[in-house]
Amino acid sequence: MADGNITKDVMYEAVSPDDFESMLNLDRYGSRSTAFDRIISATHDHFWDPLDKKYIDFDEPFDMENQAIMPEELVPALQTKYVSEALSDPKERIRFINQQALRSFSSILHGEQGALNLSASLCHVLYDQGAQEYAANQTREEARHVTAFAKYIKARWGRPAKCSPVLQTLLVEIIGSPEVYKKIVGMQMLVEGLAMGAFATFFQKMHDPLGRKLMQLVMTDEAFHHKFGKIWADRTVPHLTPEEHAVIEDWAAHCFQTLLFNLVAPHEQRDLYEEFGLDPDRVVAEFAEIATDDARREDMKEATNIFRVLIKTLLNAGIISDRTRAFYGMYVDMEELKGEGDTMVGDAIAEDGIAYLKTINFRDHGAGLKIAAE
């Protein structure tokens, strides 16, 4: 049954995606793991609805023409002398920042769609009822993220930008893969970790209050998704054979490298530079000059740096061994990272968000349960 899944705990046992018959096994109904019950129950505490103005109002205005939606420091191309000097007109500069932000939020939207389909795909392969209910619950939460980011992009820009080929390839690979470890390492540990880091940065730095609110609401859910990956690692990594460990470690390094070098790469944005009358070759060349490994390492010192978060996640999960330690060591001081413990960036923001949601969700407690008719 386990084939290439590298299953070390019965609750992660999996069947092939088209094997529904196994789900009808009578013994299966009687044994349900309880490891995820608290995460599943917590969904009621941090419930929110992107269609209900009580939680978030996508009609809140923002002057996109005269105000940058995020600070310049979040736009790597503007750190080059060429782009910074070429875009000296204040309005044009704001338009450039806001178009760059559209790319970022579109990537997040496509990532959320990926998370929705990925967790739905876990429902088809996970054999344990508890793990399956967890995946179904995550699917439901990812669905509201897709709704929320689609509404935000519609309100501010009208229409999302296309998914980058690199992100698309990674999402297609993990959604279609039958192996549970590929799905969990790729999505719950890396893409979700990346998302937590990105949301924390946007929450702290965005100029648009609606955007900041959206980040916090989404983080109240994402913090739990990341925990699912951590529980998997805790129950799997210590029991791996050296060969299995190498397979998982290599897969994690592959995903990390894909995300690091390509997701925000300037060559994916050539059409954007052209739209602003810039020479894409020159932007790419100047960007390469400033994006040296030293510069990346310096950037990663900031706690919310998204890639630092990923390395910390892999390190704490025991996935990084001496085989790949030097590879990650190019970007961060591994000893320093280890000394920081396992507090996840964004957890504090998510906790504040959950406390806020509880005041909304339980304000009318006792008023009687209403069941929507449609």
Shortest reach from residue 70's CB to Fe ion, in Å:
20
For the record, the structure tokens of 26 come out as 């009578």
Cβ proximity to Fe ion: between 13 and 192 the closer is: 192
Contact 28, 127 (CB under 8 A): yes
Shortest reach from residue 172's CB to Fe ion, in Å:
18
Cβ proximity to Fe ion: between 213 and 225 the closer is: 225
**Distance in angstroms (rounded) separating the CA atoms of residues 78 and 282:** 13
Shortest reach from residue 198's CB to Fe ion, in Å:
11
Cβ proximity to Fe ion: between 221 and 286 the closer is: 221
**Distance in angstroms (rounded) separating the CA atoms of residues 292 and 125:** 42
Helices (H), the chain: 26-30, 37-42, 81-86, 90-125, 129-156, 165-176, 180-183, 192-205, 209-236, 242-262, 270-275, 280-290, 293-299, 306-316, 322-329, 334-338, 347-361
Shortest reach from residue 352's CB to Fe ion, in Å:
18
DSSP state of 330: T
Shortest reach from residue 183's CB to Fe ion, in Å:
13
The residues binding Fe ion (CB under 5 A) are 112, 115, 142, 145, 192, 222, 225
Give the count of alpha carbons within 13 A of 193, CB side only: 33
Shortest reach from residue 98's CB to Fe ion, in Å:
23
Cβ proximity to Fe ion: between 93 and 145 the closer is: 145
Residue 107 CB partners (closer than 8 Å, separation 6+): 163, 164, 167, 263
Cβ proximity to Fe ion: between 119 and 236 the closer is: 119
From 250, 221, 261, 263, select the one nearest 350 (Cα to Cα). Answer: 221
DSSP 336-359: HHHTTTTPPTTHHHHHHHHHHHHH
CA-angle at 346, arms to 116 and 142, nearest 5°:
10
Cβ proximity to Fe ion: between 142 and 286 the closer is: 142
Shortest reach from residue 277's CB to Fe ion, in Å:
36
Cβ proximity to Fe ion: between 109 and 115 the closer is: 115
Cβ proximity to Fe ion: between 156 and 225 the closer is: 225
Query: Could you tell me the CA-to-CA distances from 372 to 83, 237, 347 in Å, in that order?
Result: 53, 44, 33
Euclidean distance between the first and the last CA atom of the chain, given in angstroms as a whole number? 41
Cβ proximity to Fe ion: between 145 and 312 the closer is: 145
Shortest reach from residue 74's CB to Fe ion, in Å:
20
Shortest reach from residue 140's CB to Fe ion, in Å:
11
Contact 228, 12 (CB under 8 A): no
Q: Which residues make beta-bridge pairs with 14?
A: 126
Q: CA Rg, the chain, in Å? A: 21
